[in-house]
Amino acid sequence: MSEEPRTTYVLIDGENIDATLGGSILGRRPRSEERPRWERLLQFAQDRWAQPATGLFFLAANNELPMPFVQALLAIGYRPIPLSGAAGEKVVDIAIQRTLAELRRRDADVMLVSNDGDFVDQVGDLLDGRRVGLVGFVEFRNSAFAQLAERGLATFDLEYDVLAFNERLPRVRIIPIDDFDPAQFL
């Protein structure tokens, strides 16, 4: 009788990442080539914790299924989770919160891809000995996650750690002097 390998669940808050990328980093709607290469994130999770990763991509569909995007997610190994709800209802946040709560009952690790502070309590509840990671843009991460890092939350930058982008983003960040390369600014 063989035991199932432990899994890392990668939960993507697509709305949050897209809004941060477009509104805070680029200042406009991202073009296709400026969006993350989501397959790299799954590979990162598998490589980082040396176990299979299952990607769940949460998106607000509002009664309109974006089939080309859904098909692309399926092709690279994600399970798209299109959601709808009442006007003003944060369906993606609700679904991710419920999923994080359900994962407490499972023997699995978790990487949440979001900068949103709405998940701090659920992520904190998962810090019970399992590996838990938060992936996003470090300068836009909700500051409440900093306290969870003291309890074992691993944090990763979607651009610098995951290498999820084909082109360098126009971000302003604090650079450790050992990483400073003046050629990048000239």
14-32 pLDDT, tens digit per residue, is: 999 999 999 999 999 998 8
pLDDT in tens, 156-174: 999 999 999 998 888 877 7
User: pLDDT at position 134, please?
Assistant: 98
3-state secondary structure the chain: CCCCCCCEEEEEEHHHHHHHHHHHHHCCCCCHHHCCCHHHHHHHHHHHHCCCEEEEEEEECCCCCCHHHHHHHHHCCEEEEEECCCCCCCHHHHHHHHHHHHHCCCCCEEEEECCCHHHHHHHHHHCCCCCEEEEECHHHCCCCHHHHHCCCCEEEECCCCCCCCCCCCCCCCCCCHHHCCHHHHC
Q: What Rg value do the Cα atoms of the chain yield, rounded? A: 17
pLDDT in tens, 68-103: 999 999 999 999 999 998 888 999 999 999 999 999
User: pLDDT at position 5, please?
Assistant: 79
| Whether 133 contacts 156, CB under 8 Å | yes
Structural domains present in the chain: 8-185 (3.40.50.1010)
Give the residue-averaged pLDDT of 57-73: 89
The contacts of residue 133 (CB under 8 Å, 6+ apart) are 45, 48, 109, 110, 111, 112, 153, 154, 155, 156
Spatial strand order of the sheet with 8-13 comes to: 78-83, 53-60, 8-13, 109-113, 132-136, 154-157
Distance CA 159, CA 44 (A): 12
User: pLDDT at position 63, please?
Assistant: 76
- pTM value? 0.91
pLDDT band at 50; cut points 50, 70, 90: very high
| Whether 97 contacts 122, CB under 8 Å | yes
